[in-house]
Amino acid sequence: MPGPGSDVEIEQDAPLKPYTTFKIGGPARYLCVVTTPPQARDALNLARSQALPVFVLGGGSNILVSDAGFGGLVLHPAHAGIDSSGPEGAGGPGVRLRINAGEPWDRVVGYTVDHGWWGVENLSHIPGQSGAALVQNIGAYGQQMSDVFEQAEVLPVSGGELQTLAAAECDLGYRRSIFNSTRRGEFLIWSVALRVSTVPHPHLGYRDVQAYFAERGNSEPSQREIREAIVQIRDRKFPYPREERRGNAGSFFKNPTLSPAGWQSLETRVRTRFGEAAHARLAELRPRFDTGFAKLPAALLIDICGLKGFEAGRAQVNPSQPLVILNQGGATARDVLRVAGHVRRTVHAETGVTLELEPELVGFSAEDVDRYIGLK
């Protein structure tokens, strides 16, 4: 345990369910909520002394915790705060923000809109903390974290002091960064620095956003109106996880990337297996593949395969947005993976496309994962 003089508190056999937006999951062997780097270092020293695995749990919005929980140390950063008085201040067209990792992401977006600073308004209403937003390189409606990200302060899990990683070192891509890929588990993100703009630059190209403002006859919405539109659009598609019933982790499947040849094969299979009506829906996306590889909406494939509303136990494919798997109240992690596995196997068998999971699976063995979501 931490040595004399330490103010860190470590809870044993702590339930993780309340810390996740899915409202699912068993206990952690140890849980430590930290607000200062010394507290984090003390907790990590404990983990190293007992050879315990470490998992950093932010807002819990992009994870599924196993029913057995996590047999190591769960570190939960709870330090919030936004500082817009960075070394370059607010001069010129850009404003530099330093955001503590425990700051709720949507509060960051609200803060920028309140000040008229552009760059993240389309990322409104995404649950979770700011540190976790970097891990996943969150994106929505034409914007993503990487558009505004400059650097991060991180604490090595293996020991040492805070260090700074520049944007290039974090290698942000589609729903990825070094923190969930090549250097997974090596760092606790302590803060992120973003560069937002004082120059208006609205992103209104997505179909849902266009339709929203067309219905209202508004061709030049304000930044605040854009944020309000995104909130309403997301509420229709992605039930905001405020309680156990309808708890979720947002998009459960990534949008697959296809080559032109892969696209042609998919068109042929959909026409053969589902008929002309389904093929016509798919064919609207054909121009995306005229110049090479492109992303395909996973939701469309799930819908074409008739999987909206599919249930296993108390988990269900969202009937309105099939990228989302819902906790209908009392669902287990096993229920969720049974739904996910059925979706993956059905889509693969019917279309030839393999869907990858977006949330991180915590506390599961490789055998568990293969049993529930494997394609065989």
What pLDDT does residue 2 have?
47
Q: What is the Cα–Cα distance from 201 to 186, expressed in whole angstroms?
A: 36
pLDDT in tens, the chain (376 residues): 444 345 789 999 999 999 999 999 999 999 999 999 999 999 999 899 999 999 999 989 899 999 999 999 999 999 999 998 644 444 456 899 999 999 999 999 999 999 999 999 999 999 889 999 999 999 999 999 999 999 999 999 998 899 999 999 999 999 899 999 999 999 999 999 999 999 999 999 999 999 999 999 999 999 999 999 999 998 887 766 655 568 999 899 999 999 999 999 999 999 999 999 999 999 999 999 988 999 999 999 999 999 999 999 999 999 989 999 999 999 999 999 999 999 999 999 999 999 999 999 999 999 999 999 999 8
What is the structure's pLDDT at 87?
42
Instruction: Report the distance separating Cα 147 and Cα 210, nearest Å.
Output: 21
Question: Using CB atoms within 10 A of its CB, is residue 110 exposed (0-12), middle (13-18) or buried (19+)?
Answer: middle
User: Two tokens at 42?
Assistant: 């003390």
Residue 120 DSSP class: S
Q: Which residues of 177-196 are buried (b: 16+ CB within 10 A; e: fewer)?
A: bbbbeeeeeebbbbbbbbbb
Residue 3: burial class (beta carbons within 10 Å; 0-12, 13-18, 19+): exposed
pLDDT of residue 7: 77
CB 28 within 8 A of CB 16: yes
Cite the active site residues: 175, 251, 358
Domain boundaries, the chain: 10-77, 82-237, 257-373
Distance CA 222, CA 202 (A): 9
CA atoms within 13 A on the CB side of 361: 21
User: CATH assignment of 10-77?
Assistant: 3.30.43.10
Largest CA distance in the chain: 72
pTM: 0.87
User: What's residue 341's pLDDT?
Assistant: 98
pLDDT (0 to 100) of residue 90: 45
**Other CB atoms within 10 Å distance of the CB of residue 169:** 13
- The CATH number of 82-237 is 3.30.465.10
Query: Residue 82: which H helix or E strand, with range?
Result: strand 82-83
Does domain 257-373 sit in CATH 3.40.1710.10? no
pLDDT at 235: 86
Nearest-10 crossing angle of helices 276-283, 260-274 = 150
199's tokens: 């120059």
pLDDT at 119: 96
pLDDT value at residue 241 = 61
